[in-house]
Structure 1
Amino acid sequence: MTEKSPLATELALLLLLSTLWGASYSFIKLGVATIPPLTFIAARTLIAGAVLAVIIHGRRLGWPADRATWRKFLVQACLNSVVPFTLIAWAEQMTDAGLATILNSTSPIFVFLLTALVTRHEPLTSRKLFGVVAGLLGTCLIVGPQALDGLGNGLLAQLAIVAATICYAGAAITGRGFKGLDPMLPAAGSLLSGAALLGPVALVVDRPWTLTPSAASLAALLALATISTALAMVIYFRLVQTLGSLGATAQSYLRVPIGVGIGVLLLGERLSPTAWAGLACVVAGVIAMALPAPAHRAIMHPPRT
């Protein structure tokens, strides 16, 4: 962290990102009621990318001119939107929400493993390992152990969700390659690249000009694209640089207690003692993953330079 960017600020942004992405599930549910998933996702990336492009133009930021950076944007688009969005949209038709939530929350585990075994781009400490384990345990306790009952049934769909989660882990690691760029540039570049990939397919498959979406679906699409995608992606790329790959993916754990908290505040729901214990585990895990790691206490290989 720098003096201008204290840890408290980054944790607040992590909480905001978790809220924005947690709300996206409701927007998607409303949107796909009358808009096919492929067209919905293509429109989401196009609108979000266009909004950020307008802001970039207004701020007079210069777009990267080299092909290498745009290739990175394309890779980021595949890992962070095109592939995982498609896999999850297909898989959740056959997977219970509770189990899908748990499987979706495992990206910190894959970031930890990929970092330790492959990239070694940041130091890994026993505290961060504790954070990964505590966060996953807390997620399971909040959702309820019964959610694991369906594990193994509909194995292909569950593997698709795991594959999507691995994509998200890879995106958090490759996102480190945009260091030095304003976070708005990789956010917009990857979204527009994703739209370029998804748009032609949606035109052929769904023929969107023949659709008659409802006003609720269109409103959900607009909210999803502007708030839960454009704004969220800018925050995400900032956090990848400030908290690191593992710290940024901690938001996947936070989405669960945020959703539960909304139910408590707005719907009068009550938390069981198990859920309270899970909430404590998640908070402890997120803090452990987000705190900077002293290089001399790394339990794995030191980061590669």
Structure 2
Amino acid sequence: MTGGWQSALAPGGSSADAILRLFWPTVALLGLIWLAVLLVLAAALLRRARPEAPRRAGAVVGAATAGTVLVVIGLTLASYLVTRPISAAADAPLIVQLRGLQWWWQATYPEEGEASGFVTANELHLPLGRPVRLELSAEDVIHSFWVPNLAGKQDMIPGRDNALTFTPTVPGVYRAQCAEFCGLQHARMALLVVVEPPEEFARWRAVQAAPATAEALAAEGRQVFERQPCGACHTVRGTGAAGRTGPDLTHLASRGTLAAGLLPMTRGALAAWIADPQTLKPGNNMPLVPLSADELQALTAWLASLR
């Protein structure tokens, strides 16, 4: 689960399907207009000037202007009719608070009924067939959330909350992307969206809401983690680490990727990231923490067990 499918032409959600139904007629209509313009241009180049040309040219221009107005009105109306239901409120949606930062994603699942709330990062899990309401915000600069297979783009602006509502209809792993230039590592700000059956989603949610496992917490790597300043930025529930600057690491190893889609979630990738994060993703906010080879080995073994 390191890549994720990404295509607006393969809808896996209600919003993306509606957008695609608008897309193809628009392409066909504009293609016909383009061909008509080429034909008129060719005719104008081939014909010799005639006395009646100015009158005919005026008629052609007038007809083209009227046609343009009608096309613009028609496309505007079609766009309104198709996109209006997309933002309509849904009954009993799953609410997820998604926040964009330079250059990663924080996802908060609020408490719902008997299900506890929790915070995770760089990966969304959504139940198949249930409406989802993403409450979008930005911490630092303007970001834009876009998962082409499921829904359209929505900006994330500091100080302004936006929302995106859709229903996943096809299970799979999809890739979301920041679609607004947000700084040096904009292109490396990806998010995996996992659409799965409701029962699998419920199991995943229960695991994510729990603290890190006792076996993992007993490892030597936990001692390294707590000796170093890692807890000043990161949270691992069940330890004293409660930082909020960086991603929540409680179930880090359960995610498909590391560093917002930059690396696969493997022990080797964890070691490379911890050893020199600035070389892999220049400009990110994670500092270089000096570790001995033994400390790095123990720390990565512990982090790799946090499922």
State the TM-score, normalized to the length of structure 2.
0.24
Rg bigger for which structure? 2
More helix by share: 1
More strand by share: 2
- The one of the two structures with greater contact order (alpha-carbon pairs below 8 A, sep at least 6) is 1
